[in-house]
Structure 1
Amino acid sequence: MFAAAVAAAQPALCLPPLLPERPRGRLVVIGAGKASAEMARVVETHWQGPLSGLVVTRYGYEVLCSRIEIATAAHPVPDENGLAASRRMLDLVGGLTEDDTVLCLISGGGSALLPLPLPGISLEDKQDINRALLKSGASISEMNCVRRHLSAIKGGRLGAACHPARVVTLLISDVPGDHPVDIASGPTVADPTTCADAMVIVDRYGVELPLAARRLLESGEGESVKPGDARLAGSSHHFIATPAMALEAAAKLAREAGYPVYNLGDSLEGEARDMGKVMAGIVRNVAATGQPFKPPCVLLSGGEATVTVRGKGRGGRNVEFLLSLGVALEGVPDVWALAGDTDGVDGLEEIAGAVLTPDSLARAWAKGVRPRQSLDNNDGHGFFGALGDAVITGPTLTNVNDFRAILIDAEP
């Protein structure tokens, strides 16, 4: 099911039907995200006519293109390469005319890959802010609100820089609700949120900001491009893949295998360990009473949980969810689960997620690994790695957020 979800979100499958009409002038391709290089390759393959451009993707996610330059940079904490690529991208779209079209390819991960800050904020400041946000427990929407108001390229600024050219943005969504402004922090779309909103989030989570960054937010000088701005009048955006599409592909496979599927939605958010406890309660009731769903069945869900890192572990929202689920289930028989990030990277690790089996806890105890202690230490990756149950995909070249599947294979 996980493989089916990832396959359904591949750019080669869903991008070609949404290519724009050939412009009178130039076609310039730009973009950022974990899937942007693969999206660029698909554009090159299917575009009939001249084109040029630059996209930036995560290290290891690059693919071979002949006409579109592929730059690589760090994620989730930005680096100098991302900063340089951001500057070059703005330069590339300067001086375009109304006869030109900019095709912008955006997928999850683009926020860190386009780290160009507003004046007064250094790259080191941005790195510190990113680390603080990642550990704060803030949702992806909240983190991106802060990022947009400290950026010289996000929050519609890249789109405004393309004016008067037409801008067509193709999106692979990795955020709950599929809000365009939250995908890579919305570099080409208008932003309805404000500096004041960002300041509320900073204070809510106790995120320490450099003085220059705090001044930009408090003064309103970091304001982004708003709805109705004339520079974005010729812009449009289209979704080529979403979490809902990926979940439906997984559901189809499960149904074909004879299992009823209950899709709980693609917008589940909150602390990963809390979500694990809640799902365990549902699973226990299903297995014991056949309510609210009759087993055997599959429960699917997506969205983006958060991890407030308090221990010394490596974090990872999918493995934290899965470990919390396992601890709460305490070895309930005939229940299996998988949780993984469809981009192949859970947290800071090159690991997509893991698999939970009915005997995961028993095998851990036999190895001297204590499940509750691992959970308290935010060490889901260490726990499942010790069992050999990590899911490692390598770069998937797409990103439609987290995938969670629970198989309950017993009669009540």
Structure 2
Amino acid sequence: MARVLSLFRPWPVLTPACWRKPLLCKMSMDSRARGVFAAAVEAVQPDAVVRQSIERKGDSVTISGRNFTLKHNLHLVGFGKAVLGMAAEAERIVGDHLVKGIISVPHGIQKTLQQHGKLHLLLKETSRIKVVEGAKHNLPDADALRAAEEIQQLATQLTEKDLLLVLISGGGSALLPAPIPPILLQEKLEVTRKLAAAGATIQELNTVRRPLSSLKGGGLARCAHPAQVIGLVLSDVIGDPLDLIASGPTVLSEKMPEEVLSVLRHYKLLNTLPASVKDVLGRHSPRDQKDAPQDILNVLIGSNSLALKCAGRRARELGFRPVVLAPGVCGDVRSVSRLYGLLARFACSREEPSPELAAEVLMLGPEVGVETWDLCRTMKVLDEGRTEGWGATCVLAGGEPTVELLGMGRGGRNQELALRVALELRGLGPHGPVFLSGGTDGQDGPTDAAGAITDAGLFEEAQAQGLDIENFLSNNDSYTFFTHLSAGRRLLVPGLTCTNVMDVHALLIPPIPTNKP
């Protein structure tokens, strides 16, 4: 392991603020983990990310270094789970020049925001932005289709004097369905359902969806030509690829039927295609790039990386030395939980960690979407914390691990990951590491929880209460487990967050006693 760690220059030794402030130290590890998660969510609130991305000066705005003149020529459209709050803030900033707006948002979101007292994320009664709620259960429906048609109509009426502000967040694909005629919405939905059931990736799903849609793959930007188009994007996709977030309505991409047919052939779905889909794919002709719109600006204004950065600041305030492992952790929760368990054991070892332990960490990298460099960097910080004696470290990561559904229980990937990490932490003592996993949208599966918090003592606690963790895991019933354990106090229930940048993981390592005299 020494050879691996020697690749890096020494990090400065930082004295954690918490250990200098006894009052702050009275906070439990559980409370501090929740505080770190709250900071991550706060950093990517829809109104905050829009406010930070638009600089207003008189009758002009500056966005990502570009200046745009406002002459009562601004139009606004949007689609996604966080778009209502984004639109409310955008109208506060540039509403005096807004001509018209239409946004497609999840079913019931306005009522929910009112119930939770989040009035600042709602439009005013005098707003010029029309709100259409749709995509119930996160599936394209007639209401979402109607919203997409109105958005398309607005875009096609614009001229070279107009400015179109497009607000995009996760969930936008379902809220902007516009199948190319004669394809019916149900026919397109059935094709994507079959692909998802067959195990297609998000990249493959978008490869198929784009050529069948009027607005995806840059279709919205083409409709708005020759107007100037600005896309403000809040990412919920690993790696933040702008062409995949909501299927890239403002990102120009050539729609190639050959790629679609290749995907459908791979999953043995060619023979099940509706006649309308075959018709659309058969009449494709390459677009003339000379006529492609040129005046498009797409700006990533919020992501998991931003959430982790602000979570790290909060962790430092709470007495931990933060280290961000990666914002794109993926793969099966079994492999991900094993990784966090190994990192915890590496950090908590009173002796030099074995080379075998470090080697297993590195071998897991490709399975969980983490680069070797990032694993080595993280282990170096953990090793310094251990050898320096204070060892208060917070490992942060984000992404979207997956769960293989074998049972009929209730839960989500965050709760199951937390429960599996608890098994990995067994034997590290009652005052050992604490692990949190939570969805930044406040929802984890069909439950009211965003995730859960576990530690090295959870296994013994479950045994004392007669709860068999393995039985709950085999039935994918992590939510029921946590509701029974200590009256649900380990559940993470922040309520509606109004945003979504995937999940946040936090592994808190307490000070490890040193063997030095």
Give the superposition deviation at 1:5. 0.8
More helix by share: 2
Give the superposition deviation at 1:216. 4.4
Instruction: Indicate the residue corresponding to 1:64 in structure 2.
Output: 123
Aligned residues of 1:77 and 1:131 also touching (Cα < 8 A): no
Give the superposition deviation at 1:55. 0.9
Instruction: Indicate the residue corresponding to 1:268 in structure 2.
Output: 329
CA distance in 2, matches of 1:268, 1:205: 26
Q: Residues 50 and 381 from structure 1, CA distance in 2 versus in 1: closer, same or farther, beyond 3 angstroms?
A: same
Give the superposition deviation at 1:241. 1.4
Q: Deviation string for 1:210-266 (max 9, x for gaps)?
A: 51289549946689989x574331111112212111101000111122211121111
1:172 partnered with 2:273: no
Instruction: Indicate the residue corresponding to 1:247 in structure 2.
Output: 308
Give the superposition deviation at 1:362. 3.3
Aligned residues of 2:261 and 2:270 also touching (Cα < 8 A): no
Normalised by the length of structure 1, the TM-score is 0.88
CA distance in 2, matches of 1:198, 1:373: 42
Give the superposition deviation at 1:406. 0.9
Aligned residues of 1:106 and 1:169 also touching (Cα < 8 A): yes
Across the aligned residues of Structure 1 and Structure 2, the Cα RMSD in angstroms comes to: 3.1
1:212 partnered with 2:247: no
Give the superposition deviation at 1:143. 3.6
What amino acid is aligned across from residue 97 of structure 1 in structure 2? Answer: T
Instruction: Indicate the residue corresponding to 1:370 in structure 2.
Output: 468
Q: Residues 341 and 139 from structure 1, CA distance in 2 versus in 1: closer, same or farther, beyond 3 angstroms?
A: farther
Q: Deviation string for 1:98-129 (max 9, x for gaps)?
A: 10111000011111222333335443345445
CA distance in 1, matches of 2:102, 2:343: 47
Q: Which runs of 5+ in 2 are unaligned?
A: 1-35, 55-60, 62-67, 111-121, 354-378, 386-390
Aligned residues of 1:148 and 1:224 also touching (Cα < 8 A): no
Q: Deviation string for 1:131-169 (max 9, x for gaps)?
A: 555555554444433433433321111121111111100
CA distance in 2, matches of 1:168, 1:304: 28
CA distance in 2, matches of 1:398, 1:223: 38
Please state whether the residue corresponding to 2:181 is helix, strand or coil.
coil
Q: Residues 309 and 78 from structure 1, CA distance in 2 versus in 1: closer, same or farther, beyond 3 angstroms?
A: farther
CA distance in 1, matches of 2:468, 2:186: 37
Aligned residues of 2:217 and 2:254 also touching (Cα < 8 A): no
1:297 partnered with 2:393: yes
Q: Residues 138 and 405 from structure 1, CA distance in 2 versus in 1: closer, same or farther, beyond 3 angstroms?
A: farther
1:381 to 479, 489, 502: 479
1:37-56 alignment runs, 5 A limit: 37-47=84-94, 48-56=96-104
Amino-acid identity (%)? 36
User: How many correspondences in the alignment?
Assistant: 411
Aligned residues of 1:115 and 1:126 also touching (Cα < 8 A): no
Q: Deviation string for 1:286-334 (max 9, x for gaps)?
A: 2225752133311100122223433323452222322222233336331
Give the superposition deviation at 1:400. 1.7
Aligned residues of 1:139 and 1:305 also touching (Cα < 8 A): no
Q: Which runs of 5+ in 1 are unaligned?
A: none
Instruction: Indicate the residue corresponding to 2:160 in structure 1.
Output: 98
Normalised by the length of structure 2, the TM-score is 0.71
Aligned residues of 1:75 and 1:112 also touching (Cα < 8 A): no
Instruction: Indicate the residue corresponding to 1:14 in structure 2.
Output: 49
Instruction: Indicate the residue corresponding to 2:31 in structure 1.
Output: none
Instruction: Indicate the residue corresponding to 2:494 in structure 1.
Output: 393
Instruction: Indicate the residue corresponding to 2:221 in structure 1.
Output: 159
CA distance in 1, matches of 2:480, 2:197: 18
CA distance in 1, matches of 2:447, 2:305: 25
Question: Which is greater in Rg?
Answer: 2
Instruction: Indicate the residue corresponding to 2:425 in structure 1.
Output: 329
Instruction: Indicate the residue corresponding to 2:509 in structure 1.
Output: 408
Give the superposition deviation at 1:181. 0.8
2:81 to 26, 34, 44: 34
CA distance in 1, matches of 2:437, 2:410: 16
Please state whether the residue corresponding to 1:28 is helix, strand or coil.
strand
Please state whether the residue corresponding to 1:247 is helix, strand or coil.
helix
1:4 partnered with 2:39: yes
